[in-house]
Amino acid sequence: MLEITVRTERGERHVRPTAEEFAGLVRRIGGRGDNYLVVQRIPDLPEVFAQVRHKEEEGYELEHRDGGPDRHFRVELDAPERVVAAMTGWARREGGWDSGLEWAPLDLGPAPDVPPLELADEEHEGLEGLLREMLVAGYATRAELTEFAQEYAREYLTREDAPPPISPEQARVLVDRMWLERVEEQAGWEGETDPERVTRAFEALEGAGITAREDFTCCPTCGHAEIGGEASPGSRGFVYFHSQNTDSAAAGYGLSLQYGGFDGSPETTAAIGREVVAALVAAGLSVKWNGIPDHAIEVTPLDWRKRLVG
């Protein structure tokens, strides 16, 4: 798999595609409403990305940025194979991936000055505390965190007859600083973490015909209402945890899992529960469950060190 996230004009998000899957995405673009890809490395880093645009019967415009407006380059290519080779090399951080191409710098002008936040100390600390909780939970992207900061400021920090105290640029600067602090912190983690073991178990369950979703919806009511829409043909049942479960796990209280059979029977639900427990144990996790179909499966103790993706 490539350690990248790919976003398409269609609104799709592909996390860690294989090289073959990524090549297919590049070859696909060019039709109406599907003209570009934006690629970010994992973990996403501010001002570091590659992107390609292509319209039917036209060439490919490939760009990459490495740290700021003075490090933004573009090249025009005539075939998807050349784009795939360059972007795959970029994704793998291969030395010389950009050689042999006629890159031209793009003059985007200097980066705008962003004034510091003008918040009271308790307001600033409160906002940073909420953002830090979301960073520790580990599922939000930089864009989602930035949007949250702006919405929080509009709802809770705006003074009467005054504009919101945080501009989009200020929110981005704040989030990027905190994001990079978390990236630096996780650089010291070694080996597979417990959230990665959960992901491994969920991938195994998905492959066995059980729809498995992480950080899915806000609560069990919404989760149970929407999980059926996630099911692949032939899926026998489901397992998921919602964002409140994520927050609890990130706070050190273990992870509760919701599960069941799509036929609604207690027998199927219990069978799905046993498969979920077996997959979690096989991934190296500790599980508590009494075998009763309407009781949650608890993954505990749990060391929640979720590496950021973006």
Q: Please tell me the predicted confidence (pLDDT) of residue 146.
A: 98
Which residues, at least 6 apart from 286, have a Cβ–Cβ distance to it below 8 Å? 299, 300, 301, 302
Whether residue 176 sits in one domain with residue 267: no
Please provide residue 51's backbone torsions phi and psi, each rounded to the nearest 5 degrees.
Answer: -155, 155
> Are the beta carbons of 298 and 248 closer than 8 angstroms?
no
Whether residue 129 sits in one domain with residue 160: yes
- Assigned domain for 310 exists: no
Sole residue written with tokens 């050190």: 252
Whether residue 255 sits in one domain with residue 169: no
Instruction: Show which of 161, 186, 211 is a domain's final residue.
Output: 186
Tell me the pLDDT of the chain averaged across its residues.
Answer: 96
Instruction: Show which of 169, 186, 203 is a domain's final residue.
Output: 186
Q: How confident is the model at residue 164 (pLDDT cuts 50, 70, 90)?
A: confident
Q: 278 is written with which tokens?
A: 């077996």
- Identify the three-state secondary structure at position 261: strand
Whether residue 291 sits in one domain with residue 199: yes
- Assigned domain for 110 exists: no
Give residue-wise pLDDT tens across range 239-281: 999 999 999 999 999 999 999 999 999 999 999 999 999 999 9
Whether residue 278 sits in one domain with residue 216: yes
Q: Is the pLDDT of residue 92 over 90?
A: yes
Q: Please tell me the predicted confidence (pLDDT) of residue 107.
A: 86
Instruction: Show which of 186, 211, 230 is a domain's final residue.
Output: 186
Q: Answer whether the bond into residue 112 is a cis peptide, omega within 30°.
A: no
Q: Please tell me the predicted confidence (pLDDT) of residue 260.
A: 97
- Assigned domain for 165 exists: yes
Q: How confident is the model at residue 145 (pLDDT cuts 50, 70, 90)?
A: very high
- Identify the three-state secondary structure at position 157: helix
Q: Is the pLDDT of residue 214 over 90?
A: yes
Euclidean distance between CA atoms 45 and 179, whole angstroms: 8
Euclidean distance between CA atoms 229 and 254, whole angstroms: 27
- The pTM for the full model equals 0.93
**CA end-to-end span of the chain, whole Å?**
16
Give residue-wise pLDDT tens across range 48-63: 999 999 998 899 999 9
Whether residue 180 sits in one domain with residue 94: no
What type of residue is 297?
A: I
Euclidean distance between CA atoms 258 and 262, whole angstroms: 13
- Assigned domain for 81 exists: yes
Whether residue 68 sits in one domain with residue 163: no
- Assigned domain for 305 exists: no
Whether residue 209 sits in one domain with residue 180: no
Whether residue 75 sits in one domain with residue 48: yes
- Return the percentage of the chain with pLDDT > 90, whole number: 93
- Assigned domain for 55 exists: yes
What is each CA distance from 228 to 40, 102, 139, 222, 256, in whole angstroms? 30, 49, 22, 11, 19
Give me the mean pLDDT over the 274-292 stretch: 98
Domain holding 174, by residue range, is: 121-186
Q: Please tell me the predicted confidence (pLDDT) of residue 110.
A: 82
Give me the mean pLDDT over the 282-288 stretch: 98
How many domains in the chain? Answer: 3
Give me the mean pLDDT over the 227-232 stretch: 96
- Assigned domain for 308 exists: no
Whether residue 263 sits in one domain with residue 211: yes
- Assigned domain for 304 exists: no
Report the range of poorest mean pLDDT among 68-77, 102-111, 222-231.
102-111
Whether residue 243 sits in one domain with residue 224: yes
Whether residue 141 sits in one domain with residue 99: no
How many Cβ atoms are within 10 Å of 205's Cβ, its own excluded?
22
Strand partners of residue 52: 37, 62
Q: Please tell me the predicted confidence (pLDDT) of residue 167.
A: 94
Which residues, at least 6 apart from 269, have a Cβ–Cβ distance to it below 8 Å? 237, 259, 260, 261, 293, 294
